[in-house]
Structure 1
Amino acid sequence: MSKERSNAQPDLHCDVAVIGAGTAGLAAERAARRQGAKTLLIDDQWAGTTCASVGCMPSKLLIVAGEALTAVKGAATFGIGVGDVQVDGRAVMERVQRERDHFVSATKKGFDDLPEGVALTATACFTGPDRLALSDGRTVTAKAIVIATGSYPAIPEPFDTLGDLALTNETIFELPDLPKSLAVIGSGPVGVELAQAMARLGVDVALFAQDDSLGAVKDEHVQAALKRIIARDMALHLDVEVDAYRDGEEVVVSWSGTEAGERRFDYVLVATGRPPRLKGLGLETTGIELDDHGTPVYDPHTQRCGASSIFIAGDADHDRPILHEASDEGAIAGRNAAGYPAVEPTERTPSFSLIFTDPPVAVLGTAPDEDSAIGTSDYREQGRARMENKAEGVVRFYAEADTGKLTGASLIGPGMDHIAHLLALALMRGETARTLLDMPFYHPTLEEGLRDGLREICSALRSDMRVDRDQGCPPGA
């Protein structure tokens, strides 16, 4: 795909130049153009968004395959016999790749909607705060520039010596078949999601991490539940240091710390983080302030880097590496770049992240402080969850102690990826535990399990705010 003309002038001029055509970059260009700005969108590959190609979509395709097998194996609970269940690893990966390619293709079709002359196929490097040098020899001068270069998978030592036996989220989905064994290095959301998905598809998985937590979940009750659930499917080696070397077509992994051991694996999945893709961008020529990691210092309400005409959005700013956040940041950056030097702050939505384990995890808003009121809903005896043979997990609400206004929540359990959207809306609207209890809760649903935690918060408030437990429903309903 190429929108540029072979007879383009050596020097290009525009109002807003955007580097990177991922989710944030596309949103930034579109927002700037809607403000009437003349735009250029620069990308060296036009490969589609990280989400569609190597992130959200292929990972969820693998996850739902594991969930399908788990559901079949659990059918006996309901008196349904299914006999011997087999996993065709090649068929699993073929579907992952086929559907992944469908999503990527749909994303790329959006490139065709770009106006003539907007898209440039090249790499870009700053030579000044308002000037870019392109890899094809041309230069771009712009009133404002948006950095939306995304991120890349880090492969630290010693895993960088393993060759093709070291996988990342950008290569694991290219496997022609499921491996027999897999070591997962890193316990963030990507590592935990893919580790459980592979384990549930019959892969012998072990997960290793330098710290003692999974998924970066701070609430100790949710963290404990997540550990119990993940440990059912694989070996967990937390708070350890890991070494590895290649021996033929296997990887030998050894670890030490809280425990020690050594074993062989077919592959290692390195999920130790995705740093911003900023190397070689020439940021040192711009005069903007960089933090200790070389990432621009910026205002998250305007996406502006200091007092400059440079803006940053998406994974490149290393703040909220989530698709909807990248889209929002791109739109904020694009609008402000088009309006520069007039820049307007935008109120950001509450922090909201999901981990697509089974059951899913959600974290919203802000963590509690010592003055927060906290309410807990235990899903181990929740009525609808028991019906579905999914009775596990916990919801933790955080609220202002004097008003009951919700400030955040951490949750793990069946349907929490959907329930979390209800709570995100509640945070945005400033709802209290009391006003949420005033809404109807249909019986029997997973949502009505939220009431215990909301009532606990209300009971901690002054007496005229207290609420009595409803009668007539089974415990945990």
Structure 2
Amino acid sequence: MKTLHTDVAVIGAGSAGMTAYRAAKAAGASTILIEGGHYGTTCARVGCMPSKLLIAAAEAAHDAARTAPFGVHVDGAIRVDGREVMQRVKGERDRFVGFVVEGVEALPAEDRLVGHARFIDDGLLQVGDHTKVHARSIVIATGSTPDMPDMYRALGDRAIVNDDVFAWSDLPRSVAVIGAGVIGLELGQALSRLGVRVSVLGARGRVGPLTDPAIRGYAEKTFAHALHFEPRATVEAATREGNSVHLRYRSDTGALIDDTFDYVLVATGRKPNVAGLGLNHTSLALDERGVPVYDPATLQAGAYPVFIAGDANGILPLLHEAADEGRAAGTNAARFPDVAPLRRRAPLAIAFTDPGIAMVGARHADLAANTFVTGEVSFEDQGRSRVMLRNEGLMHVYVDRTSRRFLGAEWIGPDAEHIAHLLAWALQMNLTVDAMLDMPFYHPVIEEGLRTALRDAAARLR
């Protein structure tokens, strides 16, 4: 077994790990990047990109089916070829993964190690059965994996997670989606629009990331009109019957419902990939998840030269956040003990449903009562939205009563992903509602709806 010495060892070659490696190198540190699985980020392989490819196919099918109100008639049936859909999803997915792999393989060979890494002491890693690595600092960027409760694990290959969807060669006939978070809503709606019979079963009334009761209620009704959506279901039993799954669940009305599906897609959350790291061989204090206790500002674990970045720490499992954390962790690891806090960008979260869901800045649930006003707009009669027959949605913007500064927003509506970026920029620039209303708004655009909400908030401040 060979032994290597390095300033920084980065465990994981995903979005956070790659950025950490580059940051440590830029800071002048010798750095080794260790990967125990396949190269290619979660985003490229089983996350952002393949899910958006599936959603794009679903949008094409949906648009083709809704031309008649414009006076445009498609004669004949619209046919969705599941094999062709999945062939494009996997083909384009593999292309994106290829770009990531090329980027990793372009790194110096002496900086890359392939094999499962585990701690055998503080600052000492064993990689596979072939290499020991002595590192002055270590970055843990091992990502996360979907959680599978025991009830569904017993179903074998009929219980899947989002990763498994993108291995399909064809679309199934029916899927029960367990979980009404972002992943469950995005994939559930996409599969439904592609002709799959879908039931989305949430719990405790959750609809994506929304916390504003009015927005959440509107979103619940919107999705319930588009597909079978039970946001307060309680699954009592899940049993395998041949190549099918029988579910028994209780709806929020108390009705007991029995149904059978080809697959159960479990989207109930993710857990950090730390179980196999041998952290018990270190001096690090661990939390109830087995993750080292760390400072969210510097990402440092206790007083030790260990830093945790990306999905492995469970703070904000988003690609841009993982990249920012990787950069901070890599820089701090290289410069240890001279560490600096991470400067986070404006909070921004988007669900690529239709209508889209977005949240910027402070959540409604986190705002203290009587410290803010709420501006509102309905997109049902908003000009451009109605022109395009995409007039579903409700937005709330939150403005500080004293400073008049924009605090955040939650909404469901058309082009939410684009409006979210405008609001994130405004928040990061600490703009007031008055400064935002001084900005140009073209006519007719969906963003005029945002102006209506801002005007409503300003009027409530008088």
The TM tier, using the shorter chain, reads over 0.9
Percent of aligned positions that are identical: 45
Instruction: Determine the structure 2 residue equivalent to 1:41.
Output: 33
Q: Give the length in aligned residue pairs.
A: 454
Instruction: Determine the structure 1 residue equivalent to 2:330.
Output: 334
- Unaligned 5+ runs, structure 1: 1-8, 463-477
Instruction: Determine the structure 2 residue equivalent to 1:119.
Output: 112
- TM-score normalised according to structure 1 size: 0.93
Q: Which moved more, 1:11-20 or 1:137-146?
A: 137-146
Letter paired with 1:292: E
Letter paired with 2:416: M
Instruction: Determine the structure 2 residue equivalent to 1:357.
Output: 353
- Between the aligned partners of 2:412 and 2:332, the Cα distance in structure 1 is 38
- Between the aligned partners of 1:246 and 1:403, the Cα distance in structure 2 is 58
Query: Are the aligned partners of 2:178 and 2:200 in contact in 1 as well (CA < 8 Å)?
Result: yes
**Offset at residue 328 of structure 1 (A):** 0.5
- Between the aligned partners of 1:323 and 1:348, the Cα distance in structure 2 is 13
Letter paired with 2:381: E
Aligned residue runs from structure 1 range 285-434, under 5 A: 285-367=281-363, 368-370=367-369, 371-434=371-434
Of residues 235, 241, 244 in structure 2, which corresponds to 1:247? 241
- Between the aligned partners of 1:217 and 1:287, the Cα distance in structure 2 is 39
- Between the aligned partners of 1:350 and 1:287, the Cα distance in structure 2 is 34
Q: Give RMSD over aligned pairs.
A: 1.2
Instruction: Determine the structure 1 residue equivalent to 2:18.
Output: 26
Letter paired with 2:439: M
**Offset at residue 257 of structure 1 (A):** 5.6
Q: CA deviation digits over 1:399-448, x for unaligned, max 9?
A: 21112101111121111101100000000000111101001100000111
- Between the aligned partners of 1:48 and 1:278, the Cα distance in structure 2 is 19
- Between the aligned partners of 2:404 and 2:280, the Cα distance in structure 1 is 48
**Offset at residue 232 of structure 1 (A):** 2.1
Query: Are the aligned partners of 1:403 and 1:461 in contact in 2 as well (CA < 8 Å)?
Result: no
Letter paired with 2:405: K
**Offset at residue 109 of structure 1 (A):** 0.7
The runs of at least 4 consecutive aligned structure 1 residues that moved more than 6 Å come to: none
**Offset at residue 116 of structure 1 (A):** 2.8
- Between the aligned partners of 2:333 and 2:192, the Cα distance in structure 1 is 46
**Offset at residue 455 of structure 1 (A):** 1.2
- Between the aligned partners of 1:449 and 1:237, the Cα distance in structure 2 is 30
Instruction: Determine the structure 1 residue equivalent to 2:201.
Output: 208
What SS class does the counterpart of residue 29 from structure 1 fall into? helix
2:137 matches 1:144: yes
Letter paired with 1:52: A
Letter paired with 1:72: A
Instruction: Determine the structure 2 residue equivalent to 1:50.
Output: 42
Query: Are the aligned partners of 2:155 and 2:240 in contact in 1 as well (CA < 8 Å)?
Result: yes
Instruction: Determine the structure 1 residue equivalent to 2:257.
Output: 261
Letter paired with 1:405: R
Instruction: Determine the structure 2 residue equivalent to 1:99.
Output: 92
Query: Are the aligned partners of 1:129 and 1:309 in contact in 2 as well (CA < 8 Å)?
Result: no
Instruction: Determine the structure 2 residue equivalent to 1:234.
Output: 227
2:266 matches 1:273: no
**Offset at residue 357 of structure 1 (A):** 0.3
**Offset at residue 194 of structure 1 (A):** 0.3
- Between the aligned partners of 2:131 and 2:327, the Cα distance in structure 1 is 27
Q: CA deviation digits over 1:318-362, x for unaligned, max 9?
A: 110001000110001000000001101122112211111011111
Q: CA deviation digits over 1:250-276, x for unaligned, max 9?
A: 110111263321111011101111100
Instruction: Determine the structure 2 residue equivalent to 1:87.
Output: 80
- Unaligned 5+ runs, structure 2: none
**Offset at residue 449 of structure 1 (A):** 1.1
What SS class does the counterpart of residue 171 from structure 1 fall into? helix
Letter paired with 2:105: D
Letter paired with 2:137: A
Query: Are the aligned partners of 2:202 and 2:230 in contact in 1 as well (CA < 8 Å)?
Result: yes
Instruction: Determine the structure 1 residue equivalent to 2:190.
Output: 197
- Between the aligned partners of 2:396 and 2:338, the Cα distance in structure 1 is 42
**Offset at residue 300 of structure 1 (A):** 2.3
Q: CA deviation digits over 1:448-476, x for unaligned, max 9?
A: 111121112212324xxxxxxxxxxxxxx
Query: Are the aligned partners of 1:404 and 1:457 in contact in 2 as well (CA < 8 Å)?
Result: no
- Between the aligned partners of 1:322 and 1:346, the Cα distance in structure 2 is 16
